[in-house]
Amino acid sequence: MTQKIALITGASRGLGAALALALSRSHHIVAVARTTGALEELDDRIQAQGGHATLAPMDITNTDAMAQLCRSIYDRWGQIDLWAHTAVHAAPLSPASSIDGRDWEKSVAINISATGVLIPFIQPLLGDTGRALFFDDTHVVGKFTGAYSATKAAQITLARAWAAETVKTGPKVHVLAPAPMPTATRARFFPGEDRSPLSPPDTEAAAVLAALA
């Protein structure tokens, strides 16, 4: 296999879509997200700049679907070169004492449990030379953000543990902290915010890839 493969979980918008577009110049993109229409729009943009993508409209909390996807990737390409995990659930603002049970369960399922399932699925595809990217969010903390902040912190703790465990063996696991971006996730926490000072996702995607060079 000579073509590089990048798997993007959470590829339909925000940083995930920006990374998919940037990486499509040098990689075939496997784009995972729940929204088929958004993936198709991403595919159009990738094709417009001469790239190619495989669309995988699925929920990362569906273990069987993700297992089948990883098996299909192995059968077709044998491995991947990069995994960028940008999928996240941002629960509504709420006092810790009033967190809705369904929102809490969804936050745990997407931000923690799915990550714990995907790492064992994807490590064999990355081998000892691939790279995995996780994204810390140090800008959303404090009151009313407990469900998101707690589960996102748990996800990053898991990623840092994996990074420490694979220092000598690979794959290389990176935990990065992009600047605040004008994404739908941030808008849930900062409604009415002046978004003009925020960094565009494509700018942050370029910075992420530059940091890996």
Distance CA(29)–CA(26), nearest Å, equals 9
Other residues' Cβ atoms within 10 Å of the Cβ of residue 2: 3
User: The pTM is what?
Assistant: 0.95
Sorted by sequence, the CB contacts under 8 Å of residue 172 that are 6+ apart come out as 130, 131, 132, 166
pLDDT tens digit sequence for 185-209: 888 888 889 999 999 999 999 999 9
Q: For the chain, how long is the longest CA-to-CA vector? A: 53
Predicted confidence (pLDDT) at residue 140 exceeds the cutoff of 60 = yes
The string of pLDDT tens digits covering residues 96-131 is 999 999 999 999 999 999 999 999 999 999 999 999
What mean pLDDT is reported for the chain? 95
For residues 40 and 64, is the Cβ–Cβ distance under 8 A? Answer: no
* Three-state secondary-structure class, residue 177: coil
pLDDT exceeds 70 at position 1: no
Q: Which of 14, 10, 12, 11 is nearest to 187 (CA)?
A: 14
**Any long-range contacts for 74-80 (C-beta under 8 Å, 24+ apart)?**
74/124, 74/125, 77/1, 77/3, 77/5, 77/28, 78/1, 79/1, 79/5, 79/125, 79/126, 79/127, 79/130, 80/5, 80/6, 80/7, 80/30, 80/122, 80/125, 80/126, 80/130
Percent of the chain with pLDDT over 70: 100
Domains of the chain from N-terminus onward: 4-212 (3.40.50.720)
